[in-house]
Amino acid sequence: MKLDEVAKKLEGLQTIASVKKILGIETQKAIYYIYKLRKKGYVKTNYESDKKRVYFISLQNVFRGISYIDILNKYSPIKLASFEVYQIYGRIPSVEETLIYAIKKQEVRYIIASISLFKKVKNWSLLYKLAKKNGLIRQVAALYDVSKVCVKKIRKMPKKFKNLARPKKSDIYLYIIKNFSSSDFKEIEKKWKVYIPLNRVDLEDYK
């Protein structure tokens, strides 16, 4: 069977077990096909929460598309697997754009992974613009303070961003993930009027 035909049959997210089942082959043959498909550019590898490998197989991968998950996995010790197959072509998504994407997902693992991106933020004006557009200014500021607890060499947040993000007395508390709040980051929650969906134990991979 030709490799492009194999790639079509395996289109989507696969594991070695699913490759074996779809193609009706043994483990070593499945590993061989993944190896050959990767060399051809058809495979991208992600990791599940238990660090099990998941292979995103697509003929489109050959065109070197990149996803927000790729950016998150590049910088975060938390490796994400995603059933989203959305790829961006012709440009590399910015760290600032990826950070907003991760927060908007409203999922704990994405929030944990996003913490690492603050180390790479350079364009705070862009981050503010994107945060404002998505109604996430205070959430970004609160997660920035969390990042300072567990990530080394975090770039300093500009005073302008900090002042614009500061909550007013009349502002209500906001959630990053609905109904999730922290036992460990109460001061940060109070400072920004934002409930933090993480505790220190969630950030152990940053040690």
Tell which wins on pLDDT, 7 or 47: 7
Given a cut of 80, whether residue 59 has pLDDT beyond it is: no
pLDDT of residue 87: 65
Q: Where are the alpha helices (DSSP H) in 46-204?
A: 68-75, 95-105, 108-114, 124-133, 137-150, 159-165, 186-192
10 Å CB burial of residue 10 (0-12, 13-18, 19+) is buried
Tell which wins on pLDDT, 68 or 196: 196
User: To the nearest 5 percent, what fractions of the chain are helix, strand and coil?
Assistant: 55, 10, 35
Please check whether residue 77 lies inside any domain of the structure.
no
CATH number for the domain that contains residue 36: 1.10.10.10
Q: Are residues 144 and 186 in the same domain?
A: yes
pLDDT of residue 111: 96
Angle at 77 between CA 153 and CA 190, to 5 degrees: 60
Domain count, the chain: 2
**Separation of alpha carbons 22 and 176, rounded Å:** 40
For the chain, what is the mean pLDDT?
Answer: 89
Domain that holds residue 112: 95-206
Q: Are residues 53 and 110 in the same domain?
A: no
Q: Are residues 172 and 123 in the same domain?
A: yes
Task: Please give the backbone phi and psi of residue 44, each rounded to the nearest 5 degrees, phi first.
Answer: -120, 135
Give 49's pLDDT tier (boundaries 50, 70, 90): low
- What is the average pLDDT across 101-124? 95
Kindly report, residue by residue over 159-192, the tens digit of the pLDDT: 999 999 999 999 999 999 999 999 999 999 999 9
Q: Are residues 100 and 19 in the same domain?
A: no
Kindly report, residue by residue over 7-46, the tens digit of the pLDDT: 889 988 889 999 999 999 999 999 999 999 988 888 888 7
10 Å CB burial of residue 9 (0-12, 13-18, 19+) is middle
Give 73's pLDDT tier (boundaries 50, 70, 90): confident
Quote the distance between the C-alpha of residue 138 and its chain's center. Answer: 19
At which of 44, 63, 82 does a domain end? Answer: 63
- What is the average pLDDT across 56-80? 80
Yes or no: say if 4 and 43 are a contact pair by the CB < 8 Å rule.
no
Structure tokens at 136: 């996430």
Q: Are residues 100 and 202 in the same domain?
A: yes
At which of 40, 63, 86 does a domain end? Answer: 63
Please check whether residue 68 lies inside any domain of the structure.
no
Please check whether residue 153 lies inside any domain of the structure.
yes
